Structure 1
Amino acid sequence: MITVKKHIILFFLCIASFAQAQYKFMMPKGKDKVTIPFELLNNLILIPVEVNGVEMSFLLDSGVNKPILFNLNPGDSLEIEQRERIQLRGLGSGSTISAVRARSNSFKIKNVEKIDLELFIILDEEINMSTRLGVPVHGIIGYDVFKDFIVEINYSNSKIKLYKPESYTYKSCRKCVDLPLTFRHSKPYIDVSVAIESGEEIPVKLLIDSGGSDALWLFEEEKLNINVPDKNFDDFLGKGLSGSIYGKRSRVKKFSMGGFSFKNAKVAFPDSSAIVYVKNFKERNGSIGGEILKRFKVVIDYGNKRIRLRKSRFYSDPFRYNMSGIELQHNGMRLVSEVVKRSTSDSSSPSGNGNPVGEVSIVFEHYNKFSLVKSFEVAEVREDSPAGYSGLIKGDVIISINGRYVHKYSLNRVTGMLEGKEGKKIRMKVNRNNVLLDFEFRLKEVL
């Protein structure tokens, strides 16, 4: 396995600040809207962003109020001005992490540009979403985009439209629902209701978090009867700035938002130690993530504190969860050897007396072809899961699943190979410390 060490080159330039700072993203002259294509990965929105002239990929995350940069490709260089060291704290049960606060950066999203934006740069290589999504992800941006535009997210065709607020007109829409938003620390919240286990609907205030891939997160609260259902399992929920996040997964009987409702929606209850940082807003009861949001065409209007929802083609998709117990990640490249067969032919020349021999000789040659291919490894194995009982462990490198070599596919597709109905047989070949091992298990319904 070959791993590449990432690095960042910082140039500190002592220059005068702009005479007139640009405080907003600006549309091209004469334009009222811009359309931006995005890639939908694990319910998350990935958009192209240019930072100080360097092309990157950022997650569009309504749950963050400052852009964060945490991963650069080998050899990338980025000019940074007016930088200072700070400590950041986020989700996870770990401690604070070191970061660099950089002022006066230029951001460009297609033709939309801002030339004076503050940015936080995290140098810790452990903070890296690229491995979990299987594509380069350099950072996160949120509030600075949402506050300057009316943002229309169409999950069905993977396009975002940014509109100038002053020129946007809401069209009459019988199938749409408009709901009010409230804000705290530049983040949007919505009042909805959940019926957890008893069937009683509980009003809750949830963060609209397009940067979360789950459907719902709820914070346990005895006084509000927000408790983990009896049917649940312990699981890895993700990684935050301050470390890994663990908790329990389950389902709620019903989740309602405006006139829309979902039965048996997936829910995660993060451990209290991982959410200490976000619990400083006591009214917050959890989050609505991408698995709910993608079921709608969403219009987010920060200026008018409003969100518009209309069903998308994903509206009736089932709420699936990981029945195998394996979390995969992309981990660099590995070297593979393949036996290739090559044939050559040779026609013999005429014989000495002028009569052609007329024979053709075909020779088959076999040779080894060496290639660097994507390496997918087991990042987490859930206890008491089918994969866990089979003997798979963290760090195993996946070679094939049900006879298909995984290096030929994207991480998203490989993860999909581990999904299916209860009872589906999964056969895996893995490399563990340069020893090839075979494992077999069946998917099992827990919830």
Structure 2
Amino acid sequence: MLRPYKTTPTHASSHPDAVPVVTASYTGEIMPTLPRRLILGLLLILFVAWPVCAEEVIDPYRFFAAHYEAMGGLERFKRINSGWSVGTVRYDGLEGTFEAWAEKPLRYRLDEDFGIIRQSEGDDGNLRWRRDTNGQVEEVRDEETLKRRRIAELLENFEHLNPDSPWFTLSDAGLAEVEGVPCRVFRLENRINSDVSRFFIALDDLRVVKTVDTEPDVEVHTRYHDYRRIDGLRLPFRQVADIHPRNKRREIAITAQRINPTVDRRRFAKPAPATGAIGFPADDRAENIPFHFSENLIYLPVTLNGDTRWWILDSGASMSVIDAEYAESLGLKLVGSIGGFGFGDLFTLAFVRLPPCRVGKLTLPAQTIHAYKGLAESSYEPVRVGILGYDFLSRFVTRIDYARRTVSFYRPESFVYRGTGKVVDAPLKYRTFSLPARVDDLPEGRFSLDLGSHRSSLHHPFAARHGLLKRPGVETVSKGMAGFSFETLSAFERMEIAGFVIDRPLLTIPDEAGPGTAAVGELAGNLGNSLLRHFVLTLDYGKQQVMIEPGTEFNGTFPEDRSGLLVGQGEDGGPMVSFVAAGTPAQEAGFVAGDVIAAVDGRPVAEYGGVLPIRELLRQAPGTRLDFTLLRQGRQFHIELVLREIF
């Protein structure tokens, strides 16, 4: 049957969340978005059609064939070729309306209006696309999406009802109770990917009460209400989906729908991107803009309402972010709320309408971005008040030369790559490039390219599959927008990216999967600036390609911590010991988390100029001796720290 919304990825190809939800990594940088399991297309809810004895062994294929007949007839379902619906939608702290169209094979379009944001997504039968609230258009063609489109095509042809299907297996999973309603449960598996759907069908009035759809990264529990008759078929007009472990809920109420309407196929075509006035200094390019590189993060100057501050460049952010208090100081109004998730945990964001701004030599039109309270507070020197994410970067072809500390922006329509690097297909996954890479002799996997992460990491599912969770390394803890995360920083032999080999890479391995991006199983990990800084990168969002060249520092070594001491910021803004790793010089010397650093080698910390210069001291050559003056519970004392290699 046709329904505009469905949280069943096995019944149609799922797609990333239409509401742009950014997520923060352990450094506080923005990471990829949460995929939404709202499906448009021919959605095949399966209904019971005969009385069921609790002890009876059920043939699921005969059972489902009878279901369709009882709910209006299988032939009637097969004659459904198109559909239209409108209604209301509630998602986290947003409320809005939708209008949806669908037509075989695979074509659909969904328009959503939440007031502060308006967005569309669809499929023209050949490719899936998404248009964000700022008018940027993305083709969704990552491997998992292509697999789910194939599953949807088979389901449209009722292949799951074939007992001899080479693609699907349908089985009886016994009895269960849902909200006091006795149900028969069926399990649908496929041989294209690992997605599994379970159907809970009421024994009293034979309606589908609930579905549970399990994918590698999320599990969606959807309940169905308000069944009505339409064209002889009994359909639910209200759905409530809970998305685990993201702690999200989406509620859909259909106010009107039609089966087999005439639909103009031009409606499904990928729309043209917005052509807002981007001001280049000359010739469709802004080249060699200097950036500040600190703690493996790229800072660019952004001018808003005449005020210039530092923003981080972050390809892992699904939408740009501004510090909420800074936005309000500029007279900008915060609207709505929506949940985000990061490397460690979950957090809440608002939306704000940003006026025209200037980024280096570029001028940009007004746009809608996220606002987050505490973004500036969680940074050190220089203080960042914003993050430039997908909605900014996708407007350009961007070239980053880490060694020269410059970034260049080009208009995509006129850009021609003339470099000598490797051109790598890197399909966007959650609006972030996914690059093939290999660690040591492990199987190749896809890693997100994240300019907003100072370190590189393996995701928990990948590490678990390959027995890496207990790998020796140095404990570390970080605090970002998503809260604290605990990892082990471990040295590997090599990492191969686009045929280029980096020796002795350091990768973090999360202690726990948690509800954040560390639990994303469809990606092997995250490539941050600790590895990317070896290269010159050219990012082409339109072609979903990354051009990779060895930089002039490709064979260089970059100093790492040699203490096991994580220095953060105390309540007074001065350096404080945040964490001490076991088995490191810092622990052996007697440092304790919470120690306030008053001086190093006799110099007051104020003379060093903040937290980051103290961290630089800890990266000096092995054998370096540092005399720390500490304050602990009102007592002042000295500790000598001797640096050594810890990886």
1:265–1:319 Cα contact (<8 Å) kept: no
Instruction: Name the residue aligned to 1:9.
Output: none
Instruction: Name the residue aligned to 1:272.
Output: 512
Question: Could you say what the CA RMSD is over the residues aligned between the two structures, in angstroms?
Answer: 3.0
Residues 23-42 of structure 1 mapped to structure 2, 5 A cutoff: 24=276, 26-28=278-280, 30-35=282-287, 36-42=289-295
Does the alignment pair 1:211 with 2:456? Answer: no
Residues 199-230 of structure 1: CA deviation (Å, up to 9, x unaligned): x2420110001111114434343674252464
Residues 266-300 of structure 1: CA deviation (Å, up to 9, x unaligned): 010013344x3326753211100001111111111
Residues 160-219 of structure 1: CA deviation (Å, up to 9, x unaligned): 11111122222152xx22211111221111011111xxxx24201100011111144343
Change (3 A) 1:433 1:380: same
Instruction: Name the residue aligned to 2:566.
Output: 327
Does the alignment pair 1:117 with 2:362? Answer: no
How far 1:426 moved relative to its partner?
Answer: 2.5
Change (3 A) 1:292 1:252: same
Distance 2:393 2:408 in 1: 11
Distance 1:126 1:164 in 2: 30
Change (3 A) 1:435 1:252: same
Instruction: Name the residue aligned to 2:580.
Output: 381
In terms of mean alpha carbon deviation, does 299-308 or 410-419 score higher? 410-419
2:402–2:536 Cα contact (<8 Å) kept: yes
Distance 2:576 2:520 in 1: 37
Distance 1:190 1:279 in 2: 17
Does the alignment pair 1:190 with 2:443? Answer: no
Does the alignment pair 1:46 with 2:312? Answer: no
Change (3 A) 1:222 1:280: closer
In terms of mean alpha carbon deviation, does 287-296 or 137-146 score higher? 137-146
Does the alignment pair 1:78 with 2:330? Answer: yes
1:71–1:128 Cα contact (<8 Å) kept: no
Residues 8-45 of structure 1: CA deviation (Å, up to 9, x unaligned): xxxxxxxx99xx98664602475311132210001100
Instruction: Name the residue aligned to 2:395.
Output: 148
Instruction: Name the residue aligned to 2:643.
Output: 443
Residues 110-167 of structure 1: CA deviation (Å, up to 9, x unaligned): 34233331122122x3873323xx2211121121222111101111221111111122
Instruction: Name the residue aligned to 1:61.
Output: 314
Alignment equivalent of 1:179, drawn from 409, 424, 447: 424
Change (3 A) 1:30 1:93: closer
Alignment equivalent of 1:247, drawn from 484, 487, 499: 487
Change (3 A) 1:76 1:432: farther
- Corresponding residue SS for 1:272: coil
2:584–2:646 Cα contact (<8 Å) kept: no
Letter of the structure 2 residue corresponding to residue 190 of structure 1: L
2:498–2:548 Cα contact (<8 Å) kept: no
Instruction: Name the residue aligned to 2:632.
Output: 432
Distance 2:325 2:587 in 1: 34
Instruction: Name the residue aligned to 2:498.
Output: 258
Alignment equivalent of 2:473, drawn from 232, 255, 258: 232
Unaligned runs of 5+ in 1: 1-15, 334-373
Letter of the structure 2 residue corresponding to residue 194 of structure 1: V
- Corresponding residue SS for 1:26: coil
Instruction: Name the residue aligned to 1:91.
Output: 342
- Corresponding residue SS for 2:413: helix
Change (3 A) 1:429 1:202: same
1:150–1:163 Cα contact (<8 Å) kept: yes
Instruction: Give the TM-score of the pair, scaled to structure 1.
Output: 0.75
Instruction: Name the residue aligned to 1:285.
Output: 524
Change (3 A) 1:416 1:71: farther
Distance 1:404 1:310 in 2: 43
- Corresponding residue SS for 2:504: strand
How far 1:232 moved relative to its partner?
Answer: 1.8
2:608–2:614 Cα contact (<8 Å) kept: yes
Larger RCO (alpha carbons 8 Å, 6+ apart): 1
Does the alignment pair 1:306 with 2:551? Answer: no
- Corresponding residue SS for 2:530: helix
Alignment equivalent of 1:395, drawn from 587, 594, 601: 594
- Corresponding residue SS for 1:192: strand
Letter of the structure 2 residue corresponding to residue 406 of structure 1: V
- Corresponding residue SS for 1:191: strand
Letter of the structure 1 residue corresponding to residue 295 of structure 2: N
Distance 1:29 1:424 in 2: 48
Distance 1:438 1:389 in 2: 14
Distance 2:358 2:280 in 1: 11
Letter of the structure 2 residue corresponding to residue 156 of structure 1: A
How far 1:60 moved relative to its partner?
Answer: 0.3
Give the count of matched residue pairs.
Answer: 377
Change (3 A) 1:172 1:290: closer
Distance 2:347 2:643 in 1: 38
Q: Identity over aligned residues, as a percent?
A: 19
- Corresponding residue SS for 2:494: strand
